[in-house]
Amino acid sequence: MSSHRYKLCGILERLTPSMFSAYMKHPDVDMIECRLDIWEGLVGRAGIYSFFDGLLEAQRWPVIIVCKPKKHGGLFEATDNERLALMMKAVDNGAEWVELEHDDPSEFFEVFLNTGAKIVCSYQLTGSDPIDERFLFDKCLELADRGTHVMKITGPVRVSADCCGYLQIIPKVKSDLKKDVIAYGLGPAGKWSRIVCLFVGSPWTYVQFSSQGNKGQYQLDAHTVRSIIKYMSGGEEEIDSSCPDPNICGYRYSY
* Pick from 87, 8, 13, 11: nearest CA to 52: 87
Residue 98: Cβ-neighbour burial (10 angstroms; 0-12, 13-18, 19+): buried
- CATH code reported for the domain at 7-232: 3.20.20.70
Give the pairing type, strands 31-35 and 63-66.
parallel
Residue 216 has pLDDT above 70, yes or no: no
Res 136: pLDDT: 97
- Tens-place pLDDT, residues 153-172: 999 999 999 999 999 999 99
**pLDDT value at residue 214:** 53
In the prediction, which pLDDT does 26 show?
Answer: 87
Contact criterion met (CB below 8 Å) for 181 and 173:
yes
Cβ contact 219:246 at 8 Å: no
**Mean of the per-residue pLDDT values for the chain?**
87
Q: Cβ atoms within 10 A of the Cβ of 112, count? A: 22
Listed ranges 40-49, 57-66, 85-94, 225-234; the one with the highest mean pLDDT: 85-94
| C-beta separation of 160 from 189 below 8 A | yes
Question: Which is higher by pLDDT, 150 or 219?
Answer: 150
Share of the chain above pLDDT 70, in %: 86
Over residues 207-217, mean pLDDT: 63
pLDDT-based confidence at residue 1 (cuts at 50, 70, 90): very low
* Domain boundaries of the chain, sorted by first residue: 7-232
Compute the average pLDDT of residues 21-27.
84
Q: In this predicted structure, which of 84-98, 130-144, 151-165, 231-245 has the lowest mean pLDDT?
A: 231-245
Residue 27, pLDDT score: 87
Give the span between the Cα atoms of 169 and 73, in whole angstroms.
Answer: 24
Least confident of 34-43, 217-226, 243-252: 243-252
Does 254 have pLDDT greater than 60?
Answer: no
Q: What's the CA gap between 192 and 184, in Å, rounded?
A: 9
